[in-house]
Amino acid sequence: GAGVSQSPSNKVTEKGKDVELRCDPISGHTALYWYRQSLGQGLEFLIYFQGNSAPDKSGLPSDRFSAERTGGSVSTLTIQRTQQEDSAVYLCASSLEGTAERTQYFGPGTRLLVL
């Protein structure tokens, strides 16, 4: 079946601009995660959605970052007033919560470059 998809695959933007990154999870997966992979910080958790519960935003680095998940499926990560330190690969993952499988399946990522 189809895996996690993300768009765009690459995004180049100018400092100060807003960007939106999209994630389509695996159909039927109730949990969705955003991570960031950067040279200086490695792989960091950003935010987690599970069903209709309030998202866990504890990993978001600043209030310029926000995310939403519509209809329990597609998610959008928005970065406002981008800074050069936001340059990274943004990874989305989904999983089936409440099961014993406990595996997060990752998308290919969106590579963001802020000039």
Task: Tell me the CA end-to-end span of the chain in Å, nearest whole number.
Answer: 37
Cis before 8? omega within 30: yes
Residue with smaller CB distance to other proteins, 20 or 97:
97
CB 46 within 8 A of CB 59: yes
Please list every residue from 15 through 54 that binds other proteins, using CB under 8 A: 31, 33, 35, 42-43, 45, 48, 50
Other beta carbons within 10 Å of 78? 13
Residue with smaller CB distance to other proteins, 93 or 114:
93
Q: Identify the residue among 2, 63, 71, 102 touching other proteins (CB under 8 A).
A: 102
Question: Alpha-carbon distance 61 to 71, whole Å?
Answer: 25
Q: Identify the residue among 7, 72, 76, 97 touching other proteins (CB under 8 A).
A: 97
Please list every residue from 54 through 93 that binds other proteins, using CB under 8 A: 56, 59, 91, 93
Residue with smaller CB distance to other proteins, 20 or 44:
44
Q: Identify the residue among 7, 73, 87, 104 touching other proteins (CB under 8 A).
A: 104
Other beta carbons within 10 Å of 39? 8
